[in-house]
């Protein structure tokens, strides 16, 4: 095939295509209709577009007239009237006041629902079948997809699968009445293609789909997918597995392979898979899939798409610290589409191609490639989305005769989410349809070969996406350590391998480390695996008063040099430590899984946060190290700078055993203090890993001393020690207050007043507003309340739900929570594991008993017999006076509170002694604005969970009984570890004053 000739024939075919399109405009862009007007306005007013899409998102939840009108005002009106473009069609244009607004509201709702319905073939099965019949009468084939993606519970996943079964029953009956398309002498459309064709989204078939649990996810989805496919086989239909977000891609591909090669279905060829070419790995993916099909002798059908989650993939990658997985130059995606289409067409003996695009250039290149490669007609077809571009589909039909429409069917609520995707696609600057039908671009430009566009645009987009936020310093900008990407098999393998290897190291004895020397003591404490208390993780030597005295002396001695070590050099130690932790990350994670009972993701995030603290505080120190010059009066120089305090005691908790320990120690060390570190007695082996990292970073002796010990033996002694200048503590309110009290006592021999930094507890609330998106709210509440067994000070322990949405929320919450698995953290299928120890277990069980007395227990899960497990417990009927609403439980117990309105919800959210974290799920701009000021907590989150703060992005910490001190991982944190100094020099000598540019001399 001569490339020049191919291009010429694509151009010729393209011109023919445009001629066939004529002057018709897709209904979505027709400006004499409401939809067209609104689309037009959206494309020229970005702010309006954002508000409109958000309004469409919330619309199905606006169950009353008041809610509807309030939201219209909040989204669009502010001080003016609702924009004319939205009001268009409301007969009340001239009527003012409440009545006018009522009519406007109704009209807007109706118009938007109609807009969504334009993309949906039918709400019910009979309506769907009737409309499919009409499409087939116009010679269009179909593929049906049931709307709805977010299944939060197994009940919902069952329902989704059941809906497919019902739909297939209906189609089975209907298909006998449908004449075949194309050829009359076959029972198949066009002589080869089943009449019934469905598309299915795998993520909707398993509520707990999780890339970390690859095997379990595939297995559970298959359990629901197989009966659907069996039914397809029975009625001689076709099934295509849709591909969704990249994180599920490997699961989806595996589903295809497993189903296609299953002995029950091997002989049945009508199974397809959507593949997205906007993914940079798509060439490799397609090669592998073709190779597999050939090797297995199992012909495949690929629906080639560009991909529908482009913006999502970029945002997720950016937030997770991953490289962007999709092309960022549109021409690269277009080129990949043509490249992949050619590859598939060349393999047409083993692979059928469904070309799914509304782009004339992309489609014509497939037509011409197929022609030049002499691919038979029955080896490829064309697919477009229902309701998307009618003139396009008609022209395509005229030119190819084989067009299948992708028809979503089902309820309006999920239909709105689908509508937003379609609107996003249509209004994007890069959209072919927009460029053709709205911007009226030149034909030559629209038909240009994508490779040509790539070279023109080269460099532009890479530059655009290269910049990363972060505080700049001589060490480069700060970036959070990337999250673990469990969709990568090597990452999953690394977890498994590290856990296996670490198990071989269990039971060792760990000495103290004082003044650069290991010290063994007679007293040791056994640290155990909370999932298997008989399994000893390690034996850790315990410091007594004598060892603490030695450690304080060692720290004091080291301080004399360390305090004057250049801050840059101190920072470099932290960066070395970060590098060591990065290299050992999987091993460090494994210790957390085994000793703290943290799930894979939770454990990884803990280590990642520790690395972040090292990296962030190193840069912050370098920034703070430069003295500031204050004032503008000539004749004097005022320098403002910081110096360390002295010996710091760090008392760390077990719930973030590396991150919090490392954060407090790193801050103390980099600011020039010397540290006595007392890890928690529940996680001392993880504490020892911090020592190993700092040892490997070669900190001078005495700067960091590892002094685990019993609180009862050394706790007060450490705090009371007169040579200790600073205590950094994270833990319970009771212990925190005791430390603050004791540290306030200053005996005569003590050289300085002690500084205490204490991060204490929380009783955090999430408010669920009446317009909250429950698809988002439910998983986030579950994650905030029960991830790591609810043992985070930031965890959600109260969910305050508005009356109007209460019943729906509870039903879905219980459904979702009863779908999660509980068991040892080693198995990634388990969402929740054991609590930290027997005493925690006992205390939480007592609270569960109290829950039954103060409220009604709505849900109490089963738990494994061995290990320190407590059930996930949800209790309702709790009011602010109850202990369940006031006391920190530190376990998986969630109190649900039913508030009559938003005022009450906010009042209740603020009604405890704590003020750590909080969250609000609301789509009311006014309510969110109000919460900014009135929801009084240290870390407030909107429309996301209340845990998972990232260093630098969400500096963490609260006030009231939640703590004293500045936020960890934020710009003020290090200041607490130092004393500020001002030095003023009189620079005038006998009337002579050296001039500085910043001095205010004579106006
Ligand atoms: C029948 C059918 C089934 C489908 N099934 C699926 C499916 O299972 N999974 C799925 O993800 N999608 C699916 N899609 C959606 C499809 O991915 C989008 O509709 C399609 O990407 C739009 O492409 P286009 O060729 O029609 O339009 P074009 O306007 O030519 O392309 C738009 C596409 O280009 C890409 N893009 C946009 N901006 C950029 C940029 N700056 N840099 C790089 N690339 C960019 C995006 O993928 C965007 O969607 C399906 C589409 C059809 C027609």
Burial-class residue 197 by CB neighbours within 10 Å (0-12, 13-18, 19+): buried
Residue 2 CB neighbours (<10 A):
9
Q: What six digits make up the tokens of 770?
A: 């009446």
pLDDT at 470 over 70: no
Q: Whose CA is nearest to atom 25 of ligand 1?
A: 357
pLDDT band at 436; cut points 50, 70, 90:
confident
Helix pair angle (659-670, 684-696), 10° resolution: 40
- Given the CA of residue 201, which atom of ligand 1 is nearest to it? 8
Q: How far is the CA of 305 from the centre of ligand 1 (A)?
A: 6
Closest CA to 315 of 944, 968, 947: 944
CA distance 998 to 747: 46
Considering the entire predicted model, what is its pTM? Answer: 0.94
Per-residue 3-state assignment (H helix, E strand, C coil) for 751-771? CCCCEEEEECCCCEEEEECCC
- Report the pLDDT averaged over residues 971-996: 93
Contacts (Cβ under 8 Å, ≥6 apart) of 105:
65, 68, 69, 72
Active site residue 860: no
pLDDT at 456 over 70: no
N residues, the chain: 1003
The values of phi and psi at residue 155, to 5°, are: -65, -45
Is the CB of 274 inside a 6 Å radius of any atom of ligand 1?
Answer: yes
Q: What six digits make up the tokens of 929?
A: 């604005």
- Report the pLDDT averaged over residues 510-522: 98
212, 497, 789, 821 from 824: Cα distances, Å: 15, 17, 12, 10
Is the CB of 362 inside a 6 Å radius of any atom of ligand 1?
Answer: yes
pLDDT at 462 over 80: no
pLDDT, position 96: 58
Dump pLDDT digits (tens) for 731-766.
999 999 999 999 999 999 899 999 999 999 999 999
Dump pLDDT digits (tens) for 576-602.
999 999 999 999 999 999 999 999 999
Q: How far is the CA of 306 from the centre of ligand 1 (A)?
A: 4
pLDDT, position 455: 66
pLDDT at 469 over 80: no
pLDDT, position 117: 86
Is the CB of 335 inside a 6 Å radius of any atom of ligand 1?
Answer: no
pLDDT, position 184: 67
Would you call 425 helix, strand, or coil by DSSP? helix
pLDDT at 472 over 60: no
Dump pLDDT digits (tens) for 299-334.
999 999 999 999 999 999 999 999 999 999 999 999
CA distance 876 to 820: 20
pLDDT at 727 over 80: yes
More confident residue, 59 or 473: 59
pLDDT over 70, % of the chain = 96
Residue 685 CB neighbours (<10 A):
25
Q: How far is the CA of 930 from the centre of ligand 1 (A)?
A: 39
More confident residue, 467 or 269: 269
- Report the pLDDT averaged over residues 828-850: 98
Dump pLDDT digits (tens) for 46-66.
888 888 889 999 998 898 999
- Report the pLDDT averaged over residues 547-564: 98
DSSP class of 891: S
Residue with tokens 């597999």: 292
Dump pLDDT digits (tens) for 98-146.
667 778 888 888 888 888 888 899 999 999 999 999 999 999 999 999 9
Please report how many Cα atoms fall inside a 13 Å half-sphere around the Cα of residue 354, on the Cβ side.
31
Active site residue 866: no
CA distance 252 to 204: 12
Q: How far is the CA of 333 from the centre of ligand 1 (A)?
A: 9
pLDDT, position 559: 98
Would you call 540 helix, strand, or coil by DSSP? strand
Q: How far is the CA of 648 from the centre of ligand 1 (A)?
A: 57
> Which of 184-193, 239-248, 456-465 shows the lowest mean pLDDT across its residues?
456-465
Please report how many Cα atoms fall inside a 13 Å half-sphere around the Cα of residue 284, on the Cβ side.
4
CA distance 328 to 280: 10
pLDDT band at 432; cut points 50, 70, 90:
confident
Q: Whose CA is nearest to atom 36 of ligand 1?
A: 330
Number of H helices, E strands in the chain: 34, 31
Is the CB of 361 inside a 6 Å radius of any atom of ligand 1?
Answer: no
Q: How far is the CA of 331 from the centre of ligand 1 (A)?
A: 12
Q: Whose CA is nearest to atom 32 of ligand 1?
A: 431
- Given the CA of residue 309, which atom of ligand 1 is nearest to it? 11
**DSSP strands (E only) in 816-913:** 856-860, 873-876, 893-899
Contacts (Cβ under 8 Å, ≥6 apart) of 879:
885, 897
DSSP class of 86: H
pLDDT, position 461: 46
Of 308, 337, 390, the one to substitute when testing ligand 1's pocket (max ligand atoms within 8 A of C-beta) is 308
Dump pLDDT digits (tens) for 195-208.
999 999 999 999 99
- Given the CA of residue 306, which atom of ligand 1 is nearest to it? 21
Contact 826, 595 (CB under 8 A): no
Is the CB of 357 inside a 6 Å radius of any atom of ligand 1?
Answer: yes
Q: How far is the CA of 934 from the centre of ligand 1 (A)?
A: 43
CA distance 938 to 933: 12
Dump pLDDT digits (tens) for 201-230.
999 999 999 999 999 999 999 999 999 999
Q: How far is the CA of 325 from the centre of ligand 1 (A)?
A: 15
Is the CB of 132 inside a 6 Å radius of any atom of ligand 1?
Answer: no
Contacts (Cβ under 8 Å, ≥6 apart) of 699:
573, 669
Is the CB of 590 inside a 6 Å radius of any atom of ligand 1?
Answer: no
pLDDT band at 84; cut points 50, 70, 90:
confident
Phi-psi region of 788 (alpha: psi -120 to 50; beta: other; left: phi over 0): left
pLDDT, position 28: 79
- Given the CA of residue 308, which atom of ligand 1 is nearest to it? 11
pLDDT over 90, % of the chain = 81
CA distance 651 to 640: 30
CA distance 167 to 787: 37
Residue with tokens 């029960």: 786
Active-site position among 355, 662, 793, 796:
793
Is the CB of 406 inside a 6 Å radius of any atom of ligand 1?
Answer: yes
């Amino acid at each position: 095939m001569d490339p020049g000739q191919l291009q010429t024939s694509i151009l010729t075919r393209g011109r023919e295509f445009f001629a066939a399109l004529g002057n018709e405009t897709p209904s979505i862009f027709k400006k004499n209709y409401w939809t067209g007007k609104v689309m037009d306005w959206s494309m020229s007013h970005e702010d309006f577009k954002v508000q409109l899409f958000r309004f469409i998102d919330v619309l199905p939840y606006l169950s009353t007239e008041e809610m509807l009108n309030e939201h219209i005002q909040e989204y669009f009106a502010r001080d003016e009237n609702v924009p004319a473009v939205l009001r268009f069609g409301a007969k009340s244009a001239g009527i003012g006041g409440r009545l006018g607004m009522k009519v406007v509201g109704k009209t807007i709702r109706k118009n938007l629902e109609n807009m969504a319905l334009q993309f949906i073939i039918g709400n019910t099965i009979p309506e769907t079948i009737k409309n499919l019949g009409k499409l087939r009468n116009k010679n269009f084939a179909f593929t049906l997809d049931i709307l709805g993606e977010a299944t939060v519970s197994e009940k919902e996943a069952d329902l989704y699968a059941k809906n497919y079964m019902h739909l297939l029953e209906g189609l089975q009956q209907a298909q006998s009445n449908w004449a075949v398309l194309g050829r009359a002498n076959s029972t198949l459309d066009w002589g080869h293609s089943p009449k019934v064709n469905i598309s299915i989204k795998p993520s909707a078939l398993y509520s707990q789909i999780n890339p970390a649990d690859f095997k379990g996810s595939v297995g559970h989805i298959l359990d629901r997918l197989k009966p659907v496919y069996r039914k397809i086989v029975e009625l001689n239909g076709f099934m295509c597995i849709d591909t969704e977000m990249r994180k599920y891609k490997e699961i989806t591909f595996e589903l295809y392979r497993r189903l296609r090669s299953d002995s029950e279905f091997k002989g049945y060829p009508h199974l397809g898979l959507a593949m997205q070419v906007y993914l940079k790995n798509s060439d490799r993916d397609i090669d592998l899939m073709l190779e597999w099909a050939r090797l297995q002798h199992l012909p495949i059908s690929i629906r080639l798409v560009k991909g529908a989650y482009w913006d999502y993939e970029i945002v997720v990658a950016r937030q997770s610290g991953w490289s962007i997985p999709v092309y960022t130059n549109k021409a690269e995606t277009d080129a990949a589409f043509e490249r992949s289409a050619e590859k598939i067409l060349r393999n047409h003996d083993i692979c059928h191609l469904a070309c799914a695009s509304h782009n004339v250039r992309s489609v014509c290149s497939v037509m011409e490639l197929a022609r030049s490669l002499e691919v038979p007609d029955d080896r490829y077809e064309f697919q477009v989305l229902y309701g998307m571009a009618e003139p396009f589909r008609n022209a395509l039909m005229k030119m190819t005769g084989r067009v299948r429409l992708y028809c979503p069917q089902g309820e309006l609520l999920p239909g709105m989410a689908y509508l937003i995707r379609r609107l996003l696609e249509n209004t994007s600057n890069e959209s072919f349809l927009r460029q053709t039908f709205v911007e009226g671009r030149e034909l030559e430009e629209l038909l240009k070969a994508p490779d040509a566009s790539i070279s023109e645009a080269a460099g532009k987009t890479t530059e655009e996406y290269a910049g990363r936020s972060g505080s700049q310093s001589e060490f480069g900008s700060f970036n959070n350590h990337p999250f673990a990407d469990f969709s990568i098999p090597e990452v999953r393998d690394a977890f498994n391998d590290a856990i296996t290897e670490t198990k071989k190291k269990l039971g060792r004895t760990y000495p103290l480390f004082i003044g650069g020397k290991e010290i063994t003591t007679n007293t040791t404490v056994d640290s155990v695996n909370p999932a298997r208390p008989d399994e000893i993780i390690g034996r850790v030597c315990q410091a007594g008063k004598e060892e603490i005295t030695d450690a304080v002396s060692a720290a004091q001695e080291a301080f004399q040099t360390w305090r004057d070590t250049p801050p840059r050099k101190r920072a470099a130690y932290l960066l070395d430590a970060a590098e060591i932790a990065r290299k050992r990350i999987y091993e460090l994670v494994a210790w957390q899984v085994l000793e703290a009972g943290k799930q894979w993701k939770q454990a990884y995030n803990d280590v990642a946060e520790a690395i972040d603290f090292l990296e962030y505080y190193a840069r912050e120190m370098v920034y703070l190290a430069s003295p500031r010059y204050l004032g503008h009066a000539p004749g004097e120089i005022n320098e403002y700078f910081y110096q360390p305090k002295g010996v710091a005691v760090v008392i760390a908790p077990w719930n973030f055993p590396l991150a919090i320990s490392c954060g407090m120690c790193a801050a103390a060390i980099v600011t020039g203090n010397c540290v006595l570190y007392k890890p928690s007695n529940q996680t001392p082996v993880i504490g020892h890993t911090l020592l190993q990292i700092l040892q490997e970073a070669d900190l001078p002796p005495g700067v960091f001393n590892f002094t685990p010990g019993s609180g009862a033996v050394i706790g007060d002694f450490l705090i009371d020690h007169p040579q200790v200048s600073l205590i950094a503590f994270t833990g319970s309110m009771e212990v925190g207050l005791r430390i603050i009290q004791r540290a306030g006592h200053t005996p005569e021999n003590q050289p300085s007043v002690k500084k205490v930094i204490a991060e204490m507890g929380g009783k955090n609330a999430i408010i669920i507003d009446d317009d909250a998106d429950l698809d988002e709210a439910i998983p986030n509440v579950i994650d905030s309340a029960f991830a790591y067994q609810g043992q985070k000070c930031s965890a959600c322990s109260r969910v305050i739900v508005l009356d109007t949405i209460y019943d729906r929320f509870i039903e879905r919450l219980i459904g979702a929570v009863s779908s999660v698995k509980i068991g040892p953290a080693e198995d990634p299928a388990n969402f929740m594991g054991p609590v930290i120890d027997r005493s925690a277990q006992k205390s939480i069980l007592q609270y569960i008993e109290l829950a039954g007395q103060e409220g009604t227990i709505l849900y109490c899960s089963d738990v494994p017999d061995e290990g320190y497990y407590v059930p996930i417990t949800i209790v309702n009927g709790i009011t602010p006076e109850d202990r369940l609403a006031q006391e920190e439980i530190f376990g998986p117990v969630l109190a649900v509170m039913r508030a009559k309105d938003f005022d009450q919800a906010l009042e209740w959210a603020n009604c405890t002694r704590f003020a750590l974290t909080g969250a609000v799920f609301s789509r009311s701009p006014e309510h969110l604005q109000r919460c900014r000021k009135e929801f009084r907590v240290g870390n407030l989150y909107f429309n996301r969970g209340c845990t998972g703060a990232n260093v630098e992005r969400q500096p963490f910490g609260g006030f009231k009984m939640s703590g004293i001190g500045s936020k960890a991982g934020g710009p003020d944190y290090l200041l607490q570890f130092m004393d500020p100094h001002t030095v003023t020099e009189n620079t005038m000598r006998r009337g002579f004053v050296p001039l500085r540019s910043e001095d205010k001399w004579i106006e």
